[in-house]
Structures are given as structure tokens and as C-alpha cells.
Amino acid sequence: MKAVVVHHRGGYGGGEVVMYFTISALSRVAEEVTVLSVEPIDWGIYEEIVEEPKPGNARNVSILKKKIGYFGIYQRLLPSFYLKNVEYDVVVNTHGDSLALFNIGSKPYVLYLHFPSLALLEYNPSLKYKLRSPREAGLRGFLSSIGWRIYFEPYRLLNKFLFPRNLLKASVVIVNSRFTLGVTKRVCSELGVSVDSKLAVVNPPVPHFERYAKLRSAARVRKRVVTIGRFTPDKNYELVVELARRHRDIEFVIVGSVGKSKIYREYFSKIKSIAPPNLKLLPDASEREKLEVLASSSIYLHTMPGEHFGIAPAEAAVAGLTLIVHKQSGAWTDICFEGSYCYGYTEPRADEVSELLEQAIKDPRPVPVDRIEHLSPESFRRRMIDIVARLAR
């Protein structure tokens, strides 16, 4: 069997984690695994995350030879035109974007859908593509949102046309959580597309699962709260700032990437300028620093509403922290089991989350490790191998 994995680019995001472990899984059963990407894949990151050498039967075919930082969402169209140049028996689209493979042929096709693009603006009110009023964002923010919305609108219309066709072409549609499953079914119903028989839930794996699980025995500071995620407006770190102001006796920590991105740097500077003394920021922290914070903290607060799944809350759950997450999220449905463990808020407002924070300190509700073993890399590999092997028979 020759397999193709389609993804936009490499990196450290949740989608990239899915890509790396899909490559790892398929390399165990396929004669050859071709990674078709727009930008070159850094195999060093693969080895760092998967903790194994690059498979000898894997190769990367990149359409561009270096990163081009413009029109990124439209670059996703390129694999559709290039796939005909690659020999394969089965193709797995781990990027999840319908634009990436809009002219797929008749061979087995697995679509890993992170979230329906048509529902992005509805479930993530902080997304930069959302049009904002001058009262809400100021004149500069209002004008900026017009530009982003003009940029995004052709993409949205393309997805509205291509998404149902992509679903119908797929042999299996994998979604990353039961939350995404529900949204996907609703969007399909609105589009008049029936794909229920093709749907399967496979949660993304937590890299270094055992390393995080060992943190469960660590001594913790009862009143330490950690939040993890890149410094972008959609993460809603203003909520952490407000909570830190209200609870001066609690230590808050935000661990997040900043890198060279102008948007990341500007948002980091904004949060830094308004952070009270009991809120510590750790930009571009190392894996060791992140592990140390998780080992010493008792509560993990996830401030992004509508998160499809989220590797960061999954890591925190494996490490034994009590989670506070938005109820419209994959973490709530697939990690917290809708309130069997953890705490959930309905609106990302300080009043509601503040009460939950006090409850979590008094009554910790971490998820037992045996309830989240499905988040291990080995569990993910087994599921992906089983799905692809059945299609390739």
C-alpha cells in the first residue's frame, strides 16, 4: 500500500500533531508514505514530537520550497493540483481543509476534519476574520476587521461550495471530538448532505503522554492557575488578566508562543502591559519550563471559547490538573465528559469563571488517567491504522 498524507505545513500546532502521528502510524503498515505539503516539512520537529526517527519509508513532496507569508489560506488549494503527480492507494487529508483536495479521484480518501470552516465565525467570536463595530474595536480595529473580512470572504464562499463535495467524496470523515461531531452534523444538515455513516471520532494524541502522566505525583501549589496557548487575540487572555485582578491571592501563569509574528508580539505586549503582579507571562517557554509549571499548578484554565479540541487542555488533564473550560468545546465533551470531571463555563465572563475558580480550589476534580488513555499516541496509531487498513483491502 502506498499512502499520501496531505497537510499545509509543519510546526507545533494540534493539526500538525495529528499529521506527525498519522505519518508514524501509516509508516508501520504502508510500503511508502508521501507527505504532500505546500511548505517543506521539518523532520526534526517530527522526531521531537513523535520521539522516533523519521521513518525510512516516508518522504516529503513540498510544492513550495520555502514559506511564503501571504495568502496562506488560499495556498491550501495547491495540493489539489499536484496530487495527480503522486502515486498512491489511499490519501489522508490531515489538514482538514476542503480546498486542499477538491478534485480527489475515486481512490480511498480519509478526511480528518478539525472543525467545519463554515462554522468558525459562529463559535469563535474573537477570530480575526469577524467584522467588528467601531464601538467594539475602535476605528483602527474596525478598519482592520474590514480588510480581514474581505480577505476571508472568498475563502468562505469557496468552502461553502467545496465542503459538501469533499464530504461526499470521502470514504471516512474523522472528527477530533464529539463537540466537532455535533457541529459537523448540524452544518451537514443545513447543507442537505448526509454523511452520518462515514463519521468517526478520533481525538488527537498527546505527545509525550507518559511524561505528562508522571506529573500526577508532583507536589502542587493549591492556588496556582496555568493557561497555555499562543499569544493571539482568539485565546482571550484578557479574561485571565481580569481574574488575576480579582484574585490577588492566586498566582496565574500564561505559557505561550510569541515567535516572530507581528500579531503574536503585539498581543503579548498588550497583555504584558495590563497584567497585575500576580500574573506571570512565560513567552516561548521551553518544554522543560512548561512541564515545571504544569507540575506545580493545580488548575488549568482554558479561555478560548469554542475550541474544537485543544492539545493544551489535554496535556493538563493527563498531568492531573483540574480543568476549567468552555462548555462548547472538545475538551468539555471528550476530556471532562460533560461535567463528570473538571468545571465548565457557558460564557467567557469573569463573574462566572471566578466562581468556578473558587470551587476548583476547594474541590479539585481532575480526570482519572484511565479515563483519558484514549489520548495516548499508541491509541491514536491503532485507530488510524485500523481505519486506513480497512479501506485499503
How many Å is the Cα radius of gyration of the chain? 21
Residue 128: the pLDDT is 63
Over residues 182-237, the pLDDT tens digits come to 999 999 999 898 899 999 999 999 999 999 999 998 888 899 999 999 999 889 99
Over residues 140-199, the pLDDT tens digits come to 777 777 887 788 888 888 888 888 888 888 999 999 999 999 999 999 999 898 899 999
What's the whole-number mean pLDDT along residues 71-98?
Answer: 86
Residue 125: the pLDDT is 57
Q: Decide: residue 207, CB within 10 A, 0-12 exposed, 13-18 middle, 19+ buried.
A: buried
Phi, psi of 348 (to 5 degrees): -75, 60
**2-205+376-392 falls under which CATH superfamily?**
Glycogen Phosphorylase B; (3.40.50.2000)
Residue 131: the pLDDT is 66
Question: Quick check: helix, strand or coil at residue 12?
Answer: coil
Spans of all domains in the chain: 2-205+376-392, 209-373
pTM reported for the whole predicted model: 0.90
Q: Which of 141, 227, 208 is nearest to 376 (CA)?
A: 208
Classify domain 209-373 by CATH number.
3.40.50.2000
Strands 58-62 and 90-93 come out as unpaired
Residue 73: the pLDDT is 80
| Cα–Cα distance, 274 to 282 (Å, whole number) | 15
Over residues 35-51, the pLDDT tens digits come to 999 999 999 999 999 99
Alpha helices in 10-133 (DSSP H): 14-27, 43-50, 72-75, 78-82, 120-123
| Cα–Cα distance, 110 to 87 (Å, whole number) | 16
Query: Percent of the chain, pLDDT > 90?
Result: 67
The reply to whether 209-373 shares the fold of 2-205+376-392 is: yes
**327 — pLDDT class (breaks 50, 70, 90):** very high
Strands 279-283 and 251-256 come out as parallel
Residue 288: the pLDDT is 93
| Cα–Cα distance, 42 to 49 (Å, whole number) | 11
Over residues 264-300, the pLDDT tens digits come to 999 999 999 999 999 999 999 999 999 999 999 999 9
Higher confidence at residue 159 or residue 346? 346
